[in-house]
Structure 1
C-alpha cells in the first residue's frame, strides 16, 4: 500500500533552487560505507534537472562521475544547459562542497521521445513472482534498509569464508522501496545503482568498494512509466572482469509486465 506521508526517498533527493545554483543535503537514511549511496546522489542530480525550468523532454541518459568522497551535510549543484536543439538537450552538473571542491561531476541528455517504430529484442528474464521470492535481510549499510530485495538467483552471502575459486557475479532479483512508492524517473535512476557490488558476489565477502563512474540509459518516457503504475522492478546484473583494483558492472531494470525500462553500466573500485 502506498504511503501518503512524505517518502524518505523524496526527502533524501529534495533540492531547492537558488540564485546561481541548487542546494541539497545528504540523508542518513541512504548512507553507504563512507558516504551517501551513489544511486541516491544520482537521483538527486536527476531531480534537479527534471525540476529545472529550462528542461525539455525526458531523461535519455545520465552519467555520474564520483570525483571525491561526499561529506555529510549540504551541497551545491551547479546545473548548466550546455547545448539544446529541437530534439535533445545536453546538461552538465557539478556537485560541490566546502566552498567549491567538486565531489561529483555529471552529464545528462534529455530528449523528446516521439512515436516511432519499436522493437524490444531482448527477452524478459524468467523469474518467480515477487511475492514468492524470499526477502533479503538487512546489511550494515543503511541505504539497503530502504529497499525490499528479493533474490531469484545469485543471492549474496557476505559472512562466510572468501570464495576460492571466485563465484559467478550474476544475480536476478526483484527490487522495490521498502515503504512502497510508485516508481518514477528519479527512483528508477536510484535503483539502477542498487545492485550490490559484483565483487561482493564473486568473492562472497564485503570489502572496501565504491562506484567511480556510472551511466544509466532510460528506455521509457515519463508518461509511459507513470502508466505502468508499478512499485517494483526485476533487476539483473553481472560483471565481465575484475582487474587491478577495478571491475565493471552492468544491469537491466524490467517492469513486471516485461518492458525493459533502463540499462546501466559502471566501473567500480575495490580493495581485495
Structure 2
C-alpha cells in the first residue's frame, strides 16, 4: 500500500521527447485545501514532474512555484521543458493545465545539479524549543491536515503574538521517509504571518513560493520519518502583500532547506 502523499503525486507519462515530457494526472482529493489542493502538495507535484524529467543523477537544488489559480477536481496535464542542460546543471520549467481553462493553474521553474564534496557551513542555529512530544497538536480544519501533523513550539498563540516569528514541528501523520518532494511540501506548512499581526484570521493566498534544498542524502536518511522544525518570520507586509522567510531543521539540528513566500492578503487597515 502506497503512502497518501505518493498517491497524490502519481503521474503517468502521456508524451515524451528530448527535453520535454507531458504527464497526465488527477487532482488529489486527500490533500484538499480551501480552493484546490494544499499549496505544498501542488508545488511537490510540479517538483515530482521535473525530477522525473531531469537527467538521472542530478538533484533538485531549488524550485519556485507560482500559484495562479486553484486546481479544479478532475484530470490535468503537467508539462515539463528543459531550457538548458549543462554538464552539471539543468534548468527546467513546468506547468499544470486543465482542459477547461484558458491558462495554467500553476507554473514552476527548477534548477537541478550534481552534489559533490565541498567546504560546508551553516549560519545560525536551530531555535531552542520544546521537543514535539511536549507540544500540543494544531489541526487546521482542512482535509490536508489529516495527513500532515503540526505541533507549534514557539510563539504559538496568534491572538497574543508580539511578532511574526514562530516555530513548529511537522511530519507526515503516517510515517514516510523524508525526501526532496516532502521538503517542498512541508515548506508550506507555517501558519500565515498576517495572523500574528491581526491576531486572528483573514483571507489570503500564497502567490509564489521558492524552496532551496540543502539536505544531502545522508541528512535525509538521518531525519527519516521523524519530526522536522520550521521556523518562520515575515520581513514586511503592506499594500496587500507580505513576505515569509523560513528554515527547515532536522531534530538533530541540520539545516535541510530554506524557503521564501510572497502572500496576498485582504486584512484592511484599521
TM-score, structure 2 normalization? 0.90
Q: Deviations over 1:168-198 (max 9, x none)?
A: 2111111111122111111111001111211
Aligned residue number for residue 62 of structure 1: 63
Give distance in 1, aligned partners of 2:265 and 2:119: 42
1:7 to 3, 6, 9: 3
- Alpha-carbon distance, 1:250 to partner: 0.9
For structure 2, the 5+ residue unaligned runs are 17-21
Q: How does 1:185-204 map to 2 (within 5 A)?
A: 185-204=180-199
Q: Deviations over 1:192-215 (max 9, x none)?
A: 111121112222222221110110
Q: Deviations over 1:224-253 (max 9, x none)?
A: 413442432011011121211111111110
Aligned residue number for residue 142 of structure 1: 143
Q: Does 1:104 align with 2:99?
A: no
For structure 1, the 5+ residue unaligned runs are none
- 2:84 and 2:90 in contact (8 A); partners too: yes
Q: Which moved more, 1:249-258 or 1:92-101?
A: 92-101
Q: Does 1:72 align with 2:73?
A: yes
Give distance in 2, aligned partners of 1:108 and 1:56: 15
- 1:58 and 1:222 in contact (8 A); partners too: no
SS in 2 for 1:169: coil
- 2:226 and 2:251 in contact (8 A); partners too: no
Equivalenced residue count is: 261
- 2:46 and 2:95 in contact (8 A); partners too: no
Aligned residue number for residue 260 of structure 2: 265
1:168 to 153, 163, 169: 163
TM-score, structure 1 normalization? 0.90
Evaluate the alpha carbon distance shift between residue 131 and residue 229 of structure 1 in structure 2; reply closer, same or farther with a 3 A threshold. Answer: same
1:18 to 14, 18, 28: 14
Aligned residue number for residue 176 of structure 2: 181
- Alpha-carbon distance, 1:94 to partner: 1.4
1:231 to 226, 230, 240: 226
